[in-house]
Structure 1
Amino acid sequence: MYLINYTSDDFQKHLQKSDTVIVPIGSVEAHGHHLPLGTDIFSPRLFCQMIEEKIGDYVWIAPEIPYGQSYDLSVYPGTIHVPSEVLAEYVYAVGKSLYENELKKLIFLNGHGGNINALNLASEKLAQLGMTVLTINWWLDFSKEILTITEGQGHAGEDETSAILYYDERLVQMDKATKNFKKPLYRVYFKDRGKILYENAMSGDATLATKEKGEKIFKLLTEKIVEIILNVRNGKYIAD
Structure 2
Amino acid sequence: MTSAEPAPPRRPLRLAEMTTVEAADAVTSSPVVILPAGAFEQHGPGMPMATDTVRAESVVDLVAAELAGRAVIGPAIPVGVSPHHLAFAGTVTLSTTTFAAVVREYVDSLHRHGWRKILVVTGHGGNNATLGTVAQDLLVTRPDIQFAWTPLTALAPDAVADMRVSEVHGHSGEAETAQMLHLAPHLVHTDRLTPGSTATAELDPLSRLSRRGHPALTVGYDRLSANGVLGDPRRATAAAGQAIVDTAVSRIVAFVKEWLDA
TM-score by length of structure 1 reads 0.91
- Give the fraction of aligned pairs with identical amino acids, expressed as a percent: 24
- The structure with the largest alpha-carbon Rg is 2
1:166 aligns with 2:208: no
| 2: CA distance, partners of 1:163 / 1:48 | 14
CA contact (8 A) 1:95 1:106 kept: yes
* Secondary structure at 1:23 match in 2: strand
Q: Distance in 1 between matches of 2:248 and 2:233?
A: 20
Q: Which amino acid is the alignment partner of residue 205 of structure 1?
A: D
> In 2, are the aligned partners of 1:2 and 1:62 still within 8 Å (CA)?
yes
1:175 aligns with 2:187: no
Q: What is the CA–CA distance in structure 2 between the aligned matches of 1:64 and 1:198, rounded to whole Å? A: 29
| Preserved CA contact (<8 Å) 1:34 1:174 | yes
Whether 1:222 aligns to 2:236 is no
1:132 correspondence with 2:146: yes
Q: Structure 2: 5+ residue runs without aligned partners?
A: 1-12, 211-215
Does the 8 Å contact 1:92/1:123 carry over to 2? Answer: no
Secondary structure in structure 2 of the residue aligned to 1:204: coil
> Given the alignment of the two structures, is residue 6 of structure 1 paired with residue 28 of structure 2, yes or no?
no
* CA displacement, residues 27-85 of structure 1 (integer Å, 9 cap, x when unaligned): 01000100111100111111122123211311111021100010111110110011111
1:185 aligns with 2:225: no
User: For residues 7-156 of structure 1, what are the structure 2 equivalents within 5 Å?
Assistant: 7-128=19-140, 129=142, 130-149=144-163, 151=165, 153-156=169-172
| Gap runs ≥5 in structure 1 | 236-240
Q: Which amino acid aligns with 1:142?
A: A
Match of 1:201 among 224, 228, 231: 228
How far off its partner does 1:100 sit?
1.6
51-60 vs 153-162, greater mean Cα deviation: 51-60
Per the alignment, in what secondary structure is the counterpart of residue 184 of structure 1? helix
1:149 is displaced (CA, Å) by: 4.2
Deviation at 1:127, TM superposition (A): 2.5
The offset of 1:142, in angstroms, is 2.7
Letter in 1 for 2:113: N
Q: Residue deviations 1:134-188, cap 9 Å, x none?
A: 1110112332343234535410000100111111212111222222124532422
The answer to whether the Cα contact below 8 Å between 1:105 and 1:132 also exists between their aligned partners in 2 is yes
- Aligned-residue Cα RMSD (Å) equals 1.7
Indicate conservation of the 8 Å contact 2:33/2:115, yes or no.
yes
